[in-house]
Amino acid sequence: MSSRTFFVGGNWKMNGDKKSLGDLITTLNTASLNDETEVVCGAPTVYLDFARSNLDARIGVAAQNCYKVAKGAFTGEISPVMIKDCGVEWVILGHSERRHVFGESDELIGQKVAHALESGLGVIACIGEKLEEREAGTTEEVVYAQTQAIADNVKDWSKVVLAYEPVWAIGTGKTASPEQAQEVHEKLREWMRANVSEVVADSVRIIYGGSVTGANCKELGSQNDVDGFLVGGASLKPEFVDIINARA
């Protein structure tokens, strides 16, 4: 296995209330978690303060989105400076739901990545192909273009985690096989080697997302170029602890 620190993110999406999230936070705070795994929970905006105030300090918190400027007349948006003011140190950007439900372009996501990094946030940057793109054989073309738009806006890769999430596997119960995940992660690392640098290719963490569960996490996590997970539905359940401990 590589020297890259295993990273497990939980994306709570638009789910939970203070009662259910409070129960989840208690579960995480009292669980035995692998010390060698970095854990970050992506809370809904209105619960960022609640999550950061109640989660144990060893668990990071992420916003699920932010805008590309610090302040202004952008009703409904939040900025990295606001996120940091809540004591939160990460943001998830470019998630497929932002791309495909809310119409965010590669260009906008790149601008958001640049501003979040300039503001001192860590970025979990998401990429991934739709089912029709995989079936048409254009997976590499799609994820390389998405990665290029992100890479053009990154100066310090130590603050970036790349999340490969095939859209056809998100919330569908379909998971990329460990071999499919490894193949794309390996190709992404080769792309980084050719287009960014050898050092970044070896050090950047590329995590997998798409119906990760307690049942499939160990096999997925054993792949050479899979450096962790971005977990959706299962991150709201006690099995999230098993996923965090996939390499334990």
Nearest to 192 by CA among 106, 127, 247, 129: 127
Report yes or no: 120 and 83 within 8 Å, Cβ to Cβ. no
d(C-alpha 127, C-alpha 144), whole Å: 9
Whether 165 is a known active-site residue: answer yes
The DSSP code sequence of the chain is --SSPEEEEEE--S---HHHHHHHHHHHHHS---TTEEEEEE--GGGHHHHHHHS-TTEEEEES---SSSSSS-TT---HHHHHHTT--EEEES-HHHHHTS---HHHHHHHHHHHHHTT-EEEEEE---HHHHHTT-HHHHHHHHHHHHHTT-S-GGGEEEEE--GGGSSSS----HHHHHHHHHHHHHHHHHHT-HHHHHHSEEEEESS--TTTHHHHHTSTT--EEEESGGGGSTTHHHHHTTT-
* Active site annotation includes 198: no
User: Which of the following is catalytic: 38, 97, 165, 185?
Assistant: 165
**Residue of 38, 95, 115, 133 marked catalytic:** 95
Residues known to be catalytic? 95, 165
